[in-house]
Amino acid sequence: MRVDAAGRQLRLLHVHAHPDDESSKGAATTALYVSQGVRVMVATCTGGERGDILNPKMDTPGNQENIAFLRAREMDRAREILGVEQVWLGFVDSGLPEGDPLPPLPDGCFAVQDVNEAAGRLVKVLREFRPHVVTTYDENGGYPHPDHIMTHKITMAAVRDAADPTKWPEHGEPWQVVKVYYHMTFHRRRFEKLDEVLHENGHERVYAERLSRMDDHLTQRLTTFVPCAEYFHVRDDALRAHATQIDPDGFWFAVPLAIQKLGWPTEDYQLVKSMVPVTLPEDDLFAGLDTHFVDRLDTWFYSI
């Protein structure tokens, strides 16, 4: 079991927008830390109620009408595969608006909530679970889905408020998260390298079209590379558990596992806040926590 400098079991909280996000972003990292005895929890903001059936094999009569039930069942299976705890925050999926101009978001959905009020639900989770490390999306949501952007907003607000004894006193004793990271695995450098290794090993390149639409701005933000290739198969199993969302013959599995391990054996992050001294780049989300005791509630040591 991994512990911090005070001898407490290390704890990691991933905050995600929908069921399946925990499996498509950072799932091999999760499996690595679970194997090391880290306690890991996923907080899922919405139930994915407005999601579509993205796997053609699951697009059968009745499934779209039962999407909320199906996605909850899929989340249960993915949770078991990853070995994590999971909590639903209970917000309603906003859907992904399409059209020009974009239609208004549905009344009452997650993305139209007041950020500071909505953060209260996550403050309760933070104070009860007391994670050392929290991961979420960047200010653009990783991609501009309104629920992903809102997830970023409430996570950053909740991390701030959870440490403030004057905020949400009904949710328990204050808790200072020590480190906060953004998921950054889907960046240009990774796709370029995978395409290169595919070609070198006699396979067709698969990312040319995607690369033509990508710039390099995320690469400049990378700080942390977690070696977790030996758990890529666990990630893939968790992805397949979300059968309404993940086509087993589609994009997620276009690159053979051996090529992925050889070409880019890490999942990548941006460290955005830390209460312990850091040396970048890192290879561990918990770097510094085993040697530095944190007892401050009022300031960040490192912040972008």
Judge whether 21 is annotated as a binding position: yes
The annotation status of 148 as a binding-site residue, yes or no, is yes
- The Cβ of residue 2 has, within 10 Å, a number of other Cβ atoms equal to 16
Query: Is 117 exposed, middle or buried (CB count within 10 Å of its CB: 0-12, 13-18, 19+)?
Result: exposed
Amino acid identity, residue 215? D
3-class DSSP assignment, residue 49: coil
- Answer whether the bond into residue 103 is a cis peptide, omega within 30°: no
Q: Which tokens in the block code for residue 12?
A: 């990691």
Q: Pick from 234, 238, 227, 236: which is nearest to 269 by CA?
A: 227
Alpha-carbon Rg of the chain, whole angstroms? Answer: 19
Q: How far is CA 165 from CA 11, 106, 177, 255, in A?
A: 21, 34, 14, 48
Between the CA of residue 57 and those of 54, 78, 110, 243, what are the distances in Å? 9, 19, 29, 9
290 touches 2 (CB < 8 A) = yes
List phi, psi (to 5°) of 204. -75, 145
Extract the tokens encoding 139. 């200010």
Report the distance separating Cα 178 and Cα 202, nearest Å.
Answer: 45
Return binding residues. Answer: 18, 21, 148
Return binding residues for Zn(2+). Answer: 18, 21, 148
